[in-house]
Chain A
């Protein structure tokens, strides 16, 4: 059973370009979460999605950032017009479809390291 798969592992973008980060949850998991981690910091919640629905995006900047989790395919975190401050590690996590929608025992991917030049 493959874990949470994220790609690419490393992404380099110039200021003003777009960054697309992909996440395939664990098999059987329908809850996806995106977190951002700055160097020597803890992870910060960005957004929580279920299939075709954004449940909580309170941690995501209102501008330039968007996320989706389509019926088919991976979840995508999209950052438009990237700036240097967007440089960070972006982690995706998934959890099983549990009654009550809890996010216990998140399983994390290996992350995408975004570097903005």
Chain B
């Protein structure tokens, strides 16, 4: 079964607010996590990644937090913009040497102008 899942299937936020998208995983052996953004009709676009030996990583307007104790991953988007509207997927690699990424079902983020 799925080992990666999301708490909220849809999220609506006001433009300019911060967005938080959550993801739970169940495999404690997973060592690498990625967030992807997928716009309608397009392929997933890499946003940010984090290894299991870290608990926080920041990019441009995005931050990923990893809590290995509760097997939880989150993506924070600062000052959300209309262009951020998309489906966001978390994905995990289940251990070093694994070739597969396991994706969650996705959260649809809608930004209200």
Secondary structure type dominating chain B contacts: strand
How far is the CB of A71 from the nearest CB of chain B, in Å? 21
Within 8 A of A (CB), among B72-90: 89
Task: Name B101's contact: one of A40, A41, A103, A109 (CB within 8 Å).
Answer: A103
Q: Which residues of A contact B104 (CB under 8 A)?
A: 42
Q: Count B interface residues, CB 8 Å.
A: 24
- Residue-wise, chain B 31-60 has the 8 Å CB interface mask toward A (1 for contact) of 010101000011111100100000000000
Contact B103 A43 (CB under 8 A): yes
Within 8 A of B (CB), among A27-45: 33, 35, 40-45
Given the known inter-chain contacts A40-B106, A42-B89, A43-B89, please indicate yes or no for A106 contacting B45, CB distance below 8 A.
no
Q: Which residues of B contact A7 (CB under 8 A)?
A: none
Does chain A have a CB within 8 A of B63? no
Task: Name A105's contact: one of B46, B97, B99 (CB within 8 Å).
Answer: B46
12 contacts between A and B (CB under 8 A): A41-B105, A42-B105, A45-B102, A56-B100, A102-B96, A103-B100, A104-B32, A105-B34, A105-B49, A108-B43, A109-B43, A110-B43
Give me the interface of A with B, judged by CB distance under 8 Å. 4, 6, 33, 35, 40-45, 48, 55-56, 58-59, 91, 93, 101-111
Give me the interface of B with A, judged by CB distance under 8 Å. 4, 32, 34, 36, 41-46, 49, 89, 91, 93, 96-97, 99-106
